Amino acid sequence: MAVIAALLLSPDQGLPVPDPAAAARVIADRFTPAELSQAGDYRSWGRLIGVATLITQFAALGFLAFWRGGPMRRMLERLGRRPLVGAQAVGAGISLVLALVDLPFNVAAWKLGRDYGLISQALGPRLFDWLLSALITMVPAALGALIAMALWRRLRGRFWIAASALIAVWAVVTTWLWPVVVAPIFNDFEPLPAGPARSEVLRLADRAGVEVGEVYVVDASRRSSTVNAYVNGIGSSKRVVIYDNAIRDLTPAEFSALIAHELGHVEADDLRRGLTFALLVIPLGVLFVQMATGAVMCRNGDDPRGPALVPVLALWMTLAVFVLQVPGNALSRQVEAKADRFSVSLTGDPQGLVDLQVGLAKANLSDVDPPSLWQFLFGTHPSTLDRIAIAEGAKVSVRNES
């Protein structure tokens, strides 16, 4: 079902046809062996940290869901005296446990980024961000646990129907509110001031015939040297956000290619496409969670109306999200490739996109051709090699037309 949804929602790629051989030549010409080695080492360590984090979090959730030793049973019995309040406590507690489990890996990722010159943030502010994120996450975790417990107790076998509807509403509301409520807690967003950068954004938007909403610059340089831009929000919160590093470090042609790519997302309404995918697969995931949770509750001998429900739900929900993100990432890669093609079409400058991808890969220490399995499971964008191949294919199209 999720794979079918991803296939149905994938945009038609059209032209240009990628030219992988030309892209491989660009990689060989524009990157030194030392640069490729450095990026490969950095990303290899990053992947190791990511996998360790994932395994540890699943292990923690599995322990909480399955272990029913004396201390756990006594705690659940006490919390079960007031099951709805107990569910909130368990939800917040699980969120805190996962944050604590993540902390050493978060610090390891910070140290890795510092060692390779990507992260400029000191350890103190990094830990403050971790703490702030942990505290914020506990609130929806407690609320979600309360609602899940109430629905499970009242609806039993129809739990998945109501839960799917509420999760879908949550997905839409968070997409709408995240840019204006959560993101400003961690970074400063200012309207892009008048000048060459804003003029270029408005020129390209006018040429593309799209409404971009507001255009903001974010102080990404406060934490990192990475270069990026993105589109988020829906309705009144829709906006294009540009890293201050991008405005400072990119050439005019690279900047135009970057903005044209983001405008491609606006023109194709890709945020709505992503939400549509989520709305289609949420019922499938929640139905799986309900069935698996019922089986484990029976196996554990837990009271199905008590707080023991919450860690079991959390385990299977996390697994469902992990599995469903694989076709979701495949859809995302297709969407990003289409936005690259739009960028070339809008600017008429394939070389600008090539230079942008080379510059992004160097600035972000990207693995230009990551391992296939990792890309399949976790890649949200085409690889640098694939993105350069799209731009090089556009050059071939231009030559054939002339």
399 pLDDT band (50/70/90 cuts)? low
Q: What is the pLDDT of residue 231?
A: 83
Residue closest to 362 by CA, chosen among 15, 26, 1, 2:
26
Q: What is the pLDDT of residue 239?
A: 82
> Alpha-carbon distance 191 to 235, whole Å?
18
Contacts of 96 by beta carbon, 8 Å cutoff, 6+ apart = 134, 138
Residue 214 dihedral angles phi and psi, to the nearest 5°: -90, 155
Q: Specify the pTM.
A: 0.89
Q: For residues 390 and 260, is the Cβ–Cβ distance under 8 A?
A: no
Please report, for residues 92, 144, 170, 307, 369, the alpha-carbon distance to residue 85 in angstroms, rounded to integers and kept in the order given. 11, 12, 22, 9, 49
Burial label, 22 (beta-carbon count in 10 A; 0-12, 13-18, 19+): middle
Contacts of 233 by beta carbon, 8 Å cutoff, 6+ apart = 175, 176, 178, 179, 180, 213, 239, 271
Contacts of 290 by beta carbon, 8 Å cutoff, 6+ apart = 157, 159, 160, 163
Q: For residues 287 and 247, is the Cβ–Cβ distance under 8 A?
A: no
DSSP character for 114?
H
Q: What is the pLDDT of residue 398?
A: 56
241 bridge partner residues: 216, 230
Q: For residues 292 and 320, is the Cβ–Cβ distance under 8 A?
A: no
Mean pLDDT of 211-234: 83
pLDDT tens, residue by residue, 265-309: 989 988 889 889 999 999 999 999 999 999 999 998 888 888 999
Spell out a b/e string for 210-220, using b for 16 or more CB atoms within 10 Å of the CB, else e.
Answer: bebbebbbbeb
Element (H, E) at 94: helix 83-115
The rounded mean pLDDT for the chain is 91
pLDDT tens, residue by residue, 166-188: 999 888 888 888 887 878 888 88
Order of strands across the sheet that contains 229-232: 189-191, 214-218, 239-243, 229-232
Mean pLDDT of 310-337: 95
Q: Give me 214's structure tokens.
A: 């507001």
pLDDT tens, residue by residue, 114-171: 999 999 899 999 999 999 999 999 999 999 999 999 999 999 889 999 999 999 988 8
Q: For residues 381 and 337, is the Cβ–Cβ distance under 8 A?
A: no
> Alpha-carbon distance 361 to 13, whole Å?
23
> Alpha-carbon distance 132 to 123, whole Å?
14
DSSP letters, 231-273, are EE--GGG-EEEEEHHHHHHS-HHHHHHHHHHHHHHHHTTHHHH
Amino acid symbol at 64: L
Q: What is the pLDDT of residue 321?
A: 94
Mean pLDDT of 323-337: 95
Q: Give me 2's structure tokens.
A: 């999720």
pLDDT tens, residue by residue, 23-79: 999 999 999 999 999 999 999 999 999 999 999 999 999 999 999 888 888 988 898
Burial label, 148 (beta-carbon count in 10 A; 0-12, 13-18, 19+): buried
Residue 305 dihedral angles phi and psi, to the nearest 5°: -105, 10
> Alpha-carbon distance 374 to 329, whole Å?
11
Please tell me which residue, 3 or 393, carries the higher pLDDT value. 393
